[in-house]
Structure 1
Amino acid sequence: MQKTKILLAEDDYDFGSILQQYLQIHNFEVVWALDGAEAFAQFTSDEHQAEHAFDICVFDVMMPKLDGFTLAEKVLQHNPEIPFIFLTAKKMKEDKIRGLKLGADDYIVKPFEADILVLRLQNILKRTQKTNKSSKNGQQFAIGKYVFDTVNYQLKFNGETQRITEKEAQLIQYFYDHKNQLIKREDVLENVWGTDDFFSGRSMDVFISRLRKYFKKDSSIAIESTRGVGLTFKIVTE
């Protein structure tokens, strides 16, 4: 059975060494880089393309040559669907917001126990694999005047194509499956993010803002918020 491949970017040698060993014990294949530039070189090298591609990334925020945020931006240009986690010793609100806007799947503040990282990775990969499995069944279907391509992660409208991320596709699919129903926020978080903690809640708010922009060309579609309760993905049919 092929191991899950992780790209770890961590400039603290002792901490990075411990994380690499701990992840390997838990049956992950880990490629560890000591700075952002080295990590990006690893990501784009021929050795790790196609069947050798990384499954998930774990980036420290503060690194020499290329910080974690810039590294994530460059990686996402090559593969918009790859999930990633930020590690940081800082608790600054601005850093968390920037990570959320980039589409981070999680944000872990140091110090933390290594088994917490393992659990977070397993939860993210479980959701990712579930989505990939359903996507392989292959379907395109109409959402109002849009066509949602679940295989290629695309929203199509009047000949225009909007490329979306895997997490955005998961959220759209969940909303569509529960269209015209009031959904509790915690239910959305548990089913799409796998947790209803503060970070995931803020992340969901960012993703919902993106979805509102994607669907704004069709006035029959709306994502309505009911304060203190939840959300409704409303599709008005004639």
Structure 2
Amino acid sequence: MKRFFLSAVALTALAAPAFAADMPARTYTKAPIYTPPQAIYNWTGFYVGGHLGGAFAGNNSLEGNSGRFLGGVQGGFDYQFAPNWVLGIEAQYSWMDRNTTNFGFPGATVVSSTGANQLGSVTGRLGYTWGPALVYAKGGYAWRDGNGLGVSVAGVPAGFTTNGNTKDGYTVGAGLEYMFAPSWSAKAEYQYYNFGNTTFTGGPAPVVGSRFNSDEHTVKVGVNYRFGWGGPVASKY
């Protein structure tokens, strides 16, 4: 029995090198290269913010073409889809300082316009985004507080009537918005407001039949805070 055991051990020792030579060599696998997560900017969500800028009446306007300071607030909701398009709705309200513009007519008649000092709008907007930037166009309903008209003859106030809708109108605009920090974005925007035309239908003879535009051009810069949605988010593997 002892002799059999020793013979088996010797046979195993002789066979081991030959078996090892027949085994395939181990292949070397290189470790994958680490790729840092990329930032994904998500525009979906609610936001509120504020803006500052200037307003300029158009040609042939009762307010003249002098500029006025404005400031206000805005808020809205955006939805990002497909995947670089952004669809949203926004409400905006602006305050402006008043100005007084006098127009002389034959017969020493003067029309005085103190100008509207409030502008509002509710608009839809459609934009295209790449990374932290969003370029967009907007349009919708516009409102203002009136045009503060007054007519006087030789310094004495005179009665008058007008037609046309001076409070309700439409607005269109375009802008660029940029996410500069998580949940924070800054924007620059042009917006045009049109409230139709105003025609004097009654009053002193020199003003009757006179027609004026009722519009505003505005340029604004602003900041928005996005409730937990905006800003870079690390992508998943």
Return the TM-score normalized by structure 2. Answer: 0.21
Larger Rg: 2
TM-score calculated relative to the size of structure 1: 0.21
Greater share of strand? 2
